[in-house]
Amino acid sequence: MEIFINGVKKSLESNLTVYKLVKDLGYENKRVAIELNNEIISRSDYQNKLIVEGDQIEIIKAVGGG
C-alpha cells in the first residue's frame, strides 16, 4: 500500500498498525507524536490503529533545549 509519511510517499506492507510503523522506523522508545490524517493518535491506541492506503502520517519528534 502507499501512504505519506511527513509528506513523502512510501510503499509499505498492508495490515500495518501505527505501533508497527513506529517500531519499524526506529521511534519505539523515542518521544514522538503521531498525527494520522490530521488527528493526533494517543500512544495507548498505537497497537489498535490500522494504517490504510492513502493515509497521511506526520511524525513529530520532541526536541529538548532552551
Return the closest-CA partner of residue 20 out of 54, 59, 50. 50
In this prediction, residue 66 carries a pLDDT of 64
pTM of the model: 0.87
- What does pLDDT average to in each consecutive run of 10 residues of the chain (66 residues)? 97 94 93 96 96 97 79
Tell me which of 3.40.1360.10, 3.10.20.30, 3.30.1180.10, 1.10.287.130 is the CATH number of domain 2-61. 3.10.20.30
CA distances from 26 to 20, 38, 65 (A): 10, 22, 22
Q: Where are the domains of the chain?
A: 2-61
In this prediction, residue 62 carries a pLDDT of 84
Categorise residue 24: left if φ over 0, alpha if ψ from -120 to 50, beta otherwise: alpha
Q: Which residues 6+ apart lie within 8 Å of 32 measured at CB?
A: 22, 59, 60, 61, 62
30 grid coordinates: 523515542
